[in-house]
A and B are shown apart, each in its own frame.
Chain A
Amino acid sequence: MGMVTNLFVKDRVAIVGAGITTFMRRALETSRELAWEAARMALDQAGLTLKDVDCVVIGSAPDTFDGVHLKGEYLADGSGAIRKPMTRVFVGGGTGVFVPVSAWWHVASGLCKTVLAVGEEKMSPAHPHPQYVFRYIWDPIIHRPLEPNLIWIFAMEMRRYMAKCGAKKEDIALVSVKNKRNALDNPAAQVAANITVDDVLKSEVLVWPVQELDVSPVTDGAAALVITSENVARQVTDSPVWIEGVGFTLDNQHWENRELAFPRYLNYAARMAYRMAGIERPWKEIDVAEPYDPFDYKELHHIEGLMLARPCEAWKLLKEGYFNRDGELPTSPSGGLLGVGNPIAAAGVMKVAELFWQLRYEAGKRQVKRPVHRAVANAWGDLMQAGTVIVLGN
């Protein structure tokens, strides 16, 4: 792996520690305590204390999930941000990868040397069901009178992908099977299981073509990363994981005006990140990927958006085992959101943490069966709008 000369940034940036809590349907801990548990674990792994942290970046999704508004401020003492510069970032589900992206520019600009980046989500307080809160993101005038459930848009995207690319439900269900099986080796996992394609096809139909086992669950959880400049990284650890490229893009909210079979917003963000990392042929140069997979077809959608497969080709490669842990380009070795859980903002941080452990060969039973040097993770959020991408290397 060649040294990437950073002509545009002041300091090379590395991740030196990561921590996650168990992902569960409902937690006893308050949101603050979840953030603290994850951040504590990340600091311990890095061998640092709170005194060494200069700045804090917090990512958390709509305040309406845990019913405490001003969530950044609420989580601040749990995230060690008292009397420190604190930034809260939020792009819906894209927040998970946007948190390390934001931490990246805190360090790359020279402003901070050590940043604690925390993503946290507690969805269980919302009753009757947290999914109801998603109703609040629709346009109040043009969309809400139709009383849409969030799963409608995913179903529409999935249908369009199936129609345009010729993929069938059995083909797409393989993602759910793969990820839930990968998650059996993940101690944080909420819904790891050994299921078959048949189980997926027999599960409850929510919004055809989306069925119960195609969907990731409601989760409480938190994950954290410690991100430092090159000098600090070299003192703290022998194997820092470098952040080589970041990308983020926002599209408009009018997903009814767009071709739904290809995520253009993600593609732009990926190009930005690859250009910064000096990657010209991602399908050859990326060794392991964690595409965002709240639904099974979404992983394929994102694999194509990240240019790891040609448009409409991902489902064919999936059938050949290309994306398995022992395949050519393993995806979601952690188990992804389908296997581990989906706390909206923390899920992306979990994926970056997984790649951090993979690139240090510390992922234990989840370690992929091929040498890894470059990795990419993405998250996606809002109403099919936000794409965030991060490229890591060791």
Chain B
Amino acid sequence: MSWNKHGRLHDIITWPEREEVDKYVYTPGLHGLELAKALMDGRILGMRCSDGKVYVPPKTFCPDYGQGELVEVKGPWRLQYYTVVYENLYGNRLEKPVVVGVIKPDDAVNGIIHIVNADPSKVYVGMELRPVFRPKEQRRGVITDIQYFEPA
């Protein structure tokens, strides 16, 4: 390698470049489609596998590679882990800090990541929460159809 340019960055030419596609369109998948329809209805689905455990969200195949059956997940939901976020993706300070956590229903073995609408000083691991859905006309079948979780 020609290392004769060590430390001399001013005569290296750089070339700016933009992103490579306009947008990505992601399909929900086989069970994702069922989950989407359920979310628009205000329900959350999980999948029960052959070992009797329920996983949420439903993923089309189980850890043992077979298929499971779709069941509705009713809760109660509890906060399993959480963190408090003060800055957005670009490093700008948020007006109000946001609590983000993994919220697990009692009738499933894992949880989903979502926003907790509560005062950061008042949240604790194990606190009971309840999902709050957006108004029916605003739901599109995505995870943000649940606006946030709030203390039950």
**Which one, B13, B24, B29, contacts A67 given CB within 8 A?**
B24
Given A33-B61, A36-B61, CB of A140 within 8 Å of CB of B15: yes
CB contacts under 8 Å to B, within A12-34, are 26-30, 32-33
Query: Is chain B's interface secondary structure helix, strand, loop, or mixed overall?
Result: loop
List chain A residues, Cβ under 8 A from B27. Answer: 26-30, 124-125
- Indicate if the CB atoms of B61 and A78 lie closer than 8 Å: yes
**Which one, B21, B26, B61, B64, contacts A133 given CB within 8 A?**
B21
Name A62's closest neighbour in chain B (CB-CB): B20
Min Cβ gap B113→A in Å is 16
Given A49-B65, A141-B15, CB of A126 within 8 Å of CB of B21: yes
- Tell me, yes or no, whether B85 is within 8 Å of chain A by CB: no
**Which one, A26, A80, A126, A144, contacts B65 given CB within 8 A?**
A80
- Indicate if the CB atoms of A33 and B29 lie closer than 8 Å: yes
Alpha-carbon gap, A29 to B64, bound state (A): 19
List chain A residues, Cβ under 8 A from B24. Answer: 66-67, 125-127
- Tell me, yes or no, whether B30 is within 8 Å of chain A by CB: yes
Given A64-B20, A136-B20, A140-B15, CB of A127 within 8 Å of CB of B25: yes
- Indicate if the CB atoms of B65 and A28 lie closer than 8 Å: no
List chain A residues, Cβ under 8 A from B132. Answer: none
Name A130's closest neighbour in chain B (CB-CB): B21
- Indicate if the CB atoms of B28 and A50 lie closer than 8 Å: no
- Tell me, yes or no, whether B11 is within 8 Å of chain A by CB: no
- Indicate if the CB atoms of A133 and B20 lie closer than 8 Å: yes
Min Cβ gap A65→B in Å is 9
Alpha-carbon gap, A67 to B19, bound state (A): 12
Alpha-carbon gap, A80 to B13, bound state (A): 46
Q: Binary interface profile of B, 4-42, with partner A (CB < 8 Å = 1, else 0)?
A: 000000000101010011111111111011000000000
List chain A residues, Cβ under 8 A from B32. Answer: 30
B→A interface (CB under 8 Å): 13, 15, 17, 20-30, 32-33, 59-61, 63-65
Given contacts A67-B26, A132-B21, could you give 5 more A-B pairs where the C-beta distance is less than 8 Å?
A33-B29, A127-B25, A128-B22, A136-B20, A141-B13
